[in-house]
Homo-oligomer: A and B are copies of this chain.
Amino acid sequence: MELHFPALLSRMNELRDLQGIIGLATWDQETYMPAKADSARAHQLATLQGLHHERLVDPWLGEALAWAAGQTDLDADQRAMVRVLTQERDRAVRVPQALVKALAEAQSRALAAWRQARKEKRFSVFQPALERILALRREQADAYGHEGERYDALLEGYEPGMRVARLTPVLTALRDALIPMVAALGSAPRQVPDLFKEGRRFDGEAQWQFSLRLLEAVGFDMEAGRQDRSIHPFTGGTHPMDVRLTTRIDEENPLNALFSTIHEAGHGLYEQGFAEAHYRTPLAAAPSMGLHESQSRLWENVVGRSRAFWEHFYPELSKAFPQALAGVDLDAFHGAVNRVSPSLIRTEADEVTYNLHIVLRYELELLLIHDSLPLGDLPAAWNERMQRYLGVTPPDDTQGVLQDIHWAWGEFGYFPTYSLGNLYSASLYRAAERALPDLMGQLRRGALLPLRDWLRTHVHQQGYRLPAEELIRQVTGRGLTDVDFLEYLRGKYGALYGVSL
């Protein structure tokens, strides 16, 4: 076999093209696909994923990658491409086809059982299907291989390079700092009213127009992407020049559209920002889900919930909704979008309590993957931690252990990437503040492009050259830490609630 890099690159291109098309078919499924196409689309996606898998595990690719790993004349990007694809391929090769099939079937059954269990509000309906998914995911983790900590093998699928030994101390310290912070905010003398439980009505078309205005302001390129509506907002697309965001409009509460737009725009800017030289290669990708999430959370929370941001945009917003926002001033609005309140549902949680929801799930996942928590005890373990961390107890399983779809999908190892996103976002923003001395002034003037461009240069254009934590270290001067995030929370919420945290 005659080998040369262009042949390998061409296979990389093919794999990325297939992923792009899978992205299109998935986006379409959630936006424009007719209802009766459900089963046809499932077949089409299975065919595409099967072809992608077949091309990835193809022995030719294994030989080509092994050959390339030994070449000394490749440049740094080429070496990174070979490394990233080798990692992806090695994982794919290690899982027997029978297990892949068993997982797909178990997942499909677990999804149905989870839906039924939510209807009946009883975890026990979901339990046997979850047991099966867990058994298969443990088997898969062992097939991937690990050095003692089985959870590491699953975490690797979402956050390559991250390990339990590195993550647990950080998340535990974060938890122990957040519990008293939540308590302090709860008993603070100054409280923040909830503006959006008062029957105001926010015109849907005006929300849509304002969301487009926000996309323009953050510099999302509408000629290399678009925004549509879907039930659950997400970022998808086929290529850095074809990035597709969705949002959801709720006429009673404009915060869904506002913050999901800024959140998805953060993901979208990342995708649009990959270097042209990396297009159609494994380098046009975030090195981890946590790093991807750092971009959405930086824009949504650190920027999008800041007083400086709304100093510029609130006058526009109140003009767009003159009746609904009559009598609501900037401070009241800024307070309302940052209101801290321990609650049952993760996706509705504020910035301060959010990570306690994640730590709870992470701790339970570790126990479940270790097989050291009998599944029958899971709801009680959930409720006990909810009470201990947040001071609330779910009235039923639907508002507790059954609230997220992730476990029904078999996605163990995914939740911690949300917290990594928060921690990384604060550290990156601190680094941006050091690099852009007028950053606060720019936000106040609605000038968001300098921040976008700084992120583009230091994060997006790097693609997958480095693992996530190494990239963070390169940009911020240190790796994973809760210091920047806690400092950010203390500053922001201390001021808002008039307490010292």
Q: Measuring CB to CB, which residues of chain A are less than 8 angstroms from any residue of chain B?
A: 13-14, 17-18, 20-21, 24-25, 28, 32-37, 39-41, 43-44, 47-48, 50-51, 221-226, 228, 238-243, 279-280
Known: A37-B241, A40-B238. A21 touches B25 (CB 8 A): yes
State how many angstroms separate the Cβ of A11 from the closest Cβ of chain B. Answer: 11
What residues on B are CB-neighbors of A40 within 8 Å? 20, 238-242, 279-280
* Residues of B close to A242: CB separation below 8 A: 33-34, 36-37, 40-41
Report B-chain residues with C-beta under 8 Å of the C-beta of A39: 241
| A223 and B36 contacting across the interface, CB-CB below 8 Å | yes
Chain B residue numbers with a CB within 8 Å of A33 are 242
| Residue among A21, A28, A239, A279 with max Cβ neighbours from chain B (10 Å) | A21
Flag if B28 contacts A47 (CB, 8 Å). no
Known pairs A34-B225, A37-B242; A44 contacts B17 (CB<8 A): yes
The copy count of this chain in the complex is 2
Residues of B within 8 A of A224 (CB): 34-37
B223 touches A43 (CB 8 A): no
Which residue of B has the minimal Cβ distance to A224? B36
Given known contacts A28-B28, A51-B51, A21 and B36 CB-to-CB distance under 8 angstroms: no
Contact B17 A47 (CB under 8 A): yes
Contact partners of A240 in chain B: CB under 8 A: 40
Question: Could you list 23 A-B pairs, sorted by A, with CB under 8 Å?
Answer: A13-B43, A13-B47, A14-B47, A14-B50, A14-B51, A17-B44, A18-B47, A21-B25, A21-B44, A24-B44, A28-B28, A34-B222, A34-B224, A34-B225, A34-B226, A34-B243, A35-B224, A36-B241, A37-B224, A40-B280, A41-B238, A43-B280, A44-B238
> How near does chain B come to A226, taking the closest CB pair, in angstroms?
6
Known: A28-B28, A34-B224, A36-B221. 12 other contacts (CB 8 A): A13-B43, A14-B50, A17-B47, A21-B25, A33-B242, A36-B223, A36-B224, A37-B241, A39-B241, A40-B242, A41-B239, A51-B51
Distance in angstroms between the alpha carbons of A13 and B279 in the assembled complex: 31
Q: Decide if B35 touches A17 in the complex (CB within 8 Å).
A: no
Which B residues touch A221, using CB under 8 A? 36
Q: CA of A50 to CA of B44 in the docked complex: distance in angstroms?
A: 17
Cα A47 to Cα B10 in complex, Å, equals: 10
Contact assessment for A43 and B17 in the assembled complex, using a CB-CB cutoff below 8 Å: yes
Chain B residues with Cβ below 8 Å from A228 are: 32
Contact present for B20 and A21 (CB under 8 Å): no
Contact A21 B37 (CB under 8 A): no
Across-interface contacts of A25 in B (CB, < 8 A): 21, 24
Given contacts A13-B43, A239-B40, contact A48 B34 (CB under 8 A): no
CA distance A239 to B34 in the complex (A): 11
* Cα of A41 to Cα of B37 in the assembled complex, Å: 23
A240's nearest neighbour on chain B, judged by CB, is B40
- Shortest beta-carbon distance from A149 to chain B in Å: 38
Of chain B, the residue at the smallest CB distance from A43 is B17
In contact, B35 and A223 (Cβ under 8 angstroms)? yes
Q: How far is the CB of A380 from chain B (nearest CB, A)?
A: 44
Distance between Cα atoms of A35 and B47 in the complex (Å): 28
CB-nearest residue of chain B relative to A20?
B44
A92 to chain B, nearest CB (A): 18
Residues of B near A48 (CB, < 8 A) are: 17, 21
Give the complex CA separation of A24 and B43 in angstroms. 14
Most chain B beta-carbon contacts within 10 A, residue among A13, A24, A50, A280: A24
**Chain B nearest CB, measured from A175 CB (Å):** 42
A241: chain B residues within 8 A (beta carbon): 34, 36-37, 39-40
Expressed in whole angstroms, the minimum distance between the Cβ of A482 and any Cβ of chain B is 38
Chain B nearest CB: distance from A444 CB in Å? 31
| Smallest CB-CB A-B distances: 10 pairs | A37-B242, A40-B239, A17-B47, A36-B224, A36-B241, A17-B44, A37-B241, A35-B223, A36-B223, A40-B241
